[in-house]
Amino acid sequence: MVSLVTVGLPFTGSPNGSLELAVRSVFAQDLYDWRLLLVSDGAPEAVLSRLSAIADERVTVIHDGERRGLASRLNQIARMCDSQYLARMDDDDVMSRSRLSQQLHAIQSRNVDIVASRAYALKGETELLGLFREPTTAPLSDSDFLQKGAFTHPSVMGTAEWFKQHPYDEALLRGEDKDLWIRTRSELSAAKLAEPLLYYRLGRLDATKQRRDAAVDRRLVARYGPEMIGVSRTKKYLIKSRFRQFVFGVAARLPRASEMVLRSKAEPMDDQRVRHAMQELEEIKKTVVPGW
């Protein structure tokens, strides 16, 4: 079955409400012409059984019993995609009901390779913290790509052909998205929608995970920084990164400080937007998935 857009969703975890809500949010889309490609990366049998119970020809579950990492699975999804467009999705995030239709309109009308959007910040199951703090526009300069972060990765949709021609670096266990945007920046045409079209789940502060992520980020900056922003600015960035990591490690051990750091990742929203987002989440939670 060939659809206009494929939603590629790699998954690893145990069965939980987050994964089910992610799937329900695909079924809640106001666009019908989609295919959902669920690709297991060593997920347990209980998860596979639950997903395989979905009775809809638009859904395909792939499982090979291996753990290969996110970058490898994303490249696999691109190779398997027979749609014109490919949308990223993580197994703990939630799509706005109009995500696919709005991004399709944007990518077609603006004639770009990829389009991302802003995101809401979620804590726990469905606690809405606000708007996720991130750049509001697509990156314009080398500094934007290197220091500010280009896009919230699971909010990205692009042409399938672009992802096939520009694979992720499978040697990277983290930071594969930042590496991809940096490597392709000179030829990448991109847009970012101001409307939040993804509910981005923030996990609890984990000092070990943050230390690994920060180390990967520093390796990427050390690799690309001297050419992109100069040696001096690269050194300053690396020093600041180590200082932020130290502060984060201290905060992660203190419950109140940990909560403050988590909430600092979100911007306040007006009451009307809060009501809209909460109502949408409730509607998505009630969305029927055939077979469940």
Q: Read off the pLDDT of each residue in 245-258 and give the average, rounded to a whole number.
A: 74
Residue 249, burial from CB neighbour count under 10 angstroms (0-12, 13-18, 19+): middle
Residue 207 near residue 249, CB atoms below 8 Å: yes
The fold of 5-203+268-285 is Spore Coat Polysaccharide Biosynthesis Protein SpsA; Chain A (3.90.550)
pLDDT at 257 exceeding the cut of 80: no
pLDDT at 15: 52
pLDDT at 14: 59
Measured CA to CA in angstroms, residue 198 lies from 49, 102, 112, 119, 132 at distances of: 26, 12, 20, 5, 10
Query: Could you tell me what percent of the chain has a pLDDT over 90?
Result: 73
pTM given for the model? 0.93
Span of 8-17, 30-39, 162-171 with lowest mean pLDDT: 8-17
How do the domains of the chain map onto residue ranges? 5-203+268-285, 207-253
- Helix residue ranges per DSSP H, the chain: 17-27, 45-52, 70-80, 99-110, 142-143, 160-165, 176-184, 207-228, 231-252, 255-263, 271-285
pLDDT at 99 exceeding the cut of 70: yes
Residue 116 near residue 42, CB atoms below 8 Å: no
For 55: left if phi > 0, alpha if psi spans -120 to 50, otherwise beta; the answer is beta
SS3 119: strand
The DSSP call for residue 133 is: P
Which tokens sit at 133?
């703090």
Distance from C-alpha of 21 to C-alpha of 36, rounded to nearest angstrom = 14
Distance from C-alpha of 264 to C-alpha of 266, rounded to nearest angstrom = 5
Distance from C-alpha of 148 to C-alpha of 137, rounded to nearest angstrom = 11
pLDDT at 205: 61
For 180: left if phi > 0, alpha if psi spans -120 to 50, otherwise beta; the answer is alpha
pLDDT mean across residues, the chain: 91
Identify how many contiguous H helices and E strands the chain contains and give both numbers. Answer: 11, 10
Residue 123 near residue 52, CB atoms below 8 Å: no
pLDDT digits (tens, 9 = 90+) for 184-242: 999 999 999 999 999 999 876 666 777 788 888 999 999 999 999 999 999 999 998 88
pLDDT at 209: 74
Residue 71, burial from CB neighbour count under 10 angstroms (0-12, 13-18, 19+): buried
Residue 11 near residue 40, CB atoms below 8 Å: yes
